[in-house]
Amino acid sequence: MEEETNGMTEKKWFAIYTKPRWEKKVHERLVRNGITSWCPIQRIQKQWTDRKKIIEEPLFRSYVFVNIDYATERLPVLMVDGVLNFVHYLKQPAVIRNIEIENIQRYLNEKDASIELRSLEGFKSDTKVKITQGVFMDKEGTVLREGKKKVYVQLESIGQVMVVEFSVAHLEAI
């Protein structure tokens, strides 16, 4: 599973399941144990009856990413309180491609990551689309579900859906 480069084992990104609402705690504990970890966080405005507040929430519920040598660091990851297991795909630990991690990081770093929508009329389920602007420019995808406000982009290696809002002007049917 691990690739050797000049006698050194290459670290890869893996997704791990956490206890519900433990993503930030697990990330902090992994880092404290010397394990490279990333918990993608998004800033969301919440409205209460008396006030509005910006809060930070994990982008993927119950998931944290680790960049490890699976052979030597698997057990230390599993020993961290709050970690349930590695995400598996086809009975193997799911390796997350670097490009997927980079795309998520670019999306979260973009100043106006959540773009206001007008409408997505005409984009029915199974419609092939191409994004024409932003960090996902020139990426192609399939509309997984009809909606007037959101397009769902699937990360292939873990089968998770990341909700990304695009202006209809930034999409074209292919």
Q: What mean pLDDT comes out for the span 4-33?
A: 87
Q: Is 48 buried (19+), middle (13-18) or exposed (0-12) by CB count in 10 A?
A: exposed
Would the pLDDT of 13 be above 60?
yes
Q: What mean pLDDT comes out for the span 103-115?
A: 67
Q: May I ask the CATH architecture of the domain 10-96? A: 2-Layer Sandwich (3.30)
In DSSP notation, 37-88 reads EE--EEEEEEE-SS-EEEEEEESSTTEEEEEE-HHHHHHHHHTSTTEEEE-E
At 69 the pLDDT is 95
Dihedral of CA atoms 36, 69, 163, 45 in degrees, nearest 10, equals -10
Residue labelled with tokens 């092939």: 128
Residue 24: CB partners within 8 Å, gap ≥ 6?
A: 39, 41, 58
Higher pLDDT, 135 or 61: 61
For residue 16, give Cα distances in angstroms to 74, 123, 129, 156: 10, 33, 30, 16
- Contact of 51 with 66, CB cutoff 8 Å: no
Alpha-carbon span 70 to 12, nearest angstrom: 8
Q: Which two tokens stand for residue 119?
A: 């409408």
**169 CB-side CA count, 13 A:** 5
Would the pLDDT of 134 be above 70?
no
Would the pLDDT of 136 be above 50?
yes
Q: What mean pLDDT comes out for the span 72-91?
A: 93
- Give the pLDDT band (50/70/90) at residue 60: confident
Higher pLDDT, 116 or 141: 141
Higher pLDDT, 32 or 166: 32
- Give the pLDDT band (50/70/90) at residue 117: very low
Average pLDDT of the residues of the chain: 76
CB atoms within 10 A of CB 111: 4
Would the pLDDT of 116 be above 50?
no
At 78 the pLDDT is 97
pTM for the full predicted model:
0.65
